[in-house]
């Protein structure tokens, strides 16, 4: 596991998206804190771009390995946060645009947290 670069970490710390679990919407609490999960591995390395780092409460992070449904949900969130250019950059062996469309068919269109949207954090 690689550390998140300081510049990226500072940006994540300022973004309200990273204050709550992106799956449950829960805030960090003692015993089940929010952890930042690198969801995309590309060329054997963790992608250090904000769209690929997701806030996940520890209890979900711990159960991630082997949980294909949870992994699909994280992929759905990640690829919907990515720009078309980012998707194209990482779509070498797999067509992630098509994968995102498939995930949207399974889960619906992902919408960022409504409160953050109302406050103007997301366009």
Residue 113 has pLDDT above 80, yes or no: no
Residue 25: pLDDT band with limits 50, 70, 90: confident
pLDDT in tens, 54-105: 999 999 999 988 899 999 999 999 999 999 999 999 998 899 999 999 999 9
Residue 118 has pLDDT above 60, yes or no: no
Output the six-digit token pair for 120: 């103007």
CA–CA distance, 121 with 123 (Å, rounded to integer): 7
**3-state SS, residue 22:** coil
Q: Tell me what pLDDT residue 105 has.
A: 93
Residue labelled with tokens 């991630």: 64
Dihedral sign of CA atoms 48, 16, 76, 32 in order: positive
Measured in residues, the chain has a length of 123
- pTM of the predicted model over 0.85: yes
35 or 110, greater pLDDT: 35
**Smallest Cα–Cα separation from 16: which of 7, 24, 25?**
25
Among the residue ranges 1-10, 33-42, 93-102, 107-116, the one predicted with the least confidence is: 107-116
CA–CA distance, 8 with 53 (Å, rounded to integer): 10
- For the chain, percent of residues with pLDDT exceeding 90: 72
Enumerate the domain spans of the chain. 6-118
């Amino acid at each position: 596991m690689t550390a998140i670069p300081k510049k990226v970490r500072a940006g994540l710390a300022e973004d309200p998206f990273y204050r709550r679990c992106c799956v449950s919407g829960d805030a960090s609490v003692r015993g089940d804190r929010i952890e930042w999960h690198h969801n995309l591995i590309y060329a054997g390395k963790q992608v250090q771009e904000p769209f690929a780092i997701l806030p996940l409460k520890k209890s979900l992070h711990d159960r991630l390995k082997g949980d294909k449904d949870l992994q699909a949900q994280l992929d759905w969130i990640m690829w919907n946060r990515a720009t078309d250019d980012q998707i194209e950059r990482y779509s070498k062996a797999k067509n992630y645009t098509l994968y995102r469309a498939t995930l949207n068919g399974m889960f619906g269109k992902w919408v960022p947290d409504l409160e953050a949207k109302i406050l103007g954090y997301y366009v």
